Amino acid sequence: MFYSSYARTVAPDLAWQPSLFDAGAGASYEVDIGFHGMRRHALSAGAWVDHRPGWLRGADALFERLLELTPWSRRDIRMYERVLPEPRLTHRWSLQAPPAAAAEEAAGEPPPVLRTMARALGERYGVEFTQVGVNLYRDGDDSVAWHGDRVARELPSAVVALVSLGAVRPFRLRPAGGGTGVGFLPGAGDLLVMGGSCQRTWQHAVPKVRAAGPRISVQFRHVHPR
């Protein structure tokens, strides 16, 4: 799967109902910096996945904020000699620049809680997370095909962290060379961390489903040595 450099800005028009168990748009965010209840799933060839259900409290409030403030775009991808629009919306922020004032958040800054999550993850895994991306799956037709992260799959090991917001969607992994795969059903606020050789020896995907509400996946990536 090849991504082109061309992207179109898109304003999503979604009907979304927050969970009755979340405090809603006025909620404060709370990140479990102790990672209590984290469980590691060992895969083959030195790959692993950590899972912490409910790592972020206030997940629905963050979903609403990201949906409103993110300058969503849709990239083109090349598959089998064809160029097609990617079936999801995306955006990326660099975390290397100093944060702007809170009043400037709508002008391009990520919500401060994303930096808080990046710092907590960096201390946990001993890397500096310098980029955060958000992927919006608007319904069951939006998806991402089997892949390993383009840069990370060239490294002996790498850490990619995902925080799920909104509706539950299957998240699947399979060995790159074929074999038995594994799957997760991350709920709102759940944390998944892929590490070791996962990007190089395994692939992951969010497949299409018959029906699903909107979901945002927040992804953290770290500096890669050259």
75-134 pLDDT, tens digit each: 766 655 666 678 899 999 999 877 765 544 545 789 999 999 999 999 999 999 999 999
pLDDT for residue 23: 47
pTM value surpassing 0.75:
yes
> Hey, where are the domains in the chain?
38-96+108-221
What span, in angstroms and rounded, lies between the C-alpha atoms of 205 and 217?
12
What tens digit of pLDDT does each residue of 186-224 get?
A: 999 999 999 999 999 999 999 999 999 999 999 999 876
The architecture that CATH gives domain 38-96+108-221 is Sandwich (2.60)
What span, in angstroms and rounded, lies between the C-alpha atoms of 185 and 164?
10
**Sign (positive/negative) of CA torsion 99, 148, 193, 28?**
positive
With bands split at pLDDT 50, 70 and 90, how would you rate the model's confidence at 163?
Answer: very high
What tens digit of pLDDT does each residue of 50-88 get?
A: 999 999 999 999 999 999 999 999 876 665 566 667 889
Go through 89-104 and write b for each residue having 16 or more CB atoms within 10 A of its CB, e for each that does not: bbbebebeeeeeeeee
Task: Indicate if the pLDDT at residue 10 is higher than 80.
Answer: no
Using alpha carbons, list the distances in angstroms from residue 210 to 12, 140, 142.
20, 6, 11
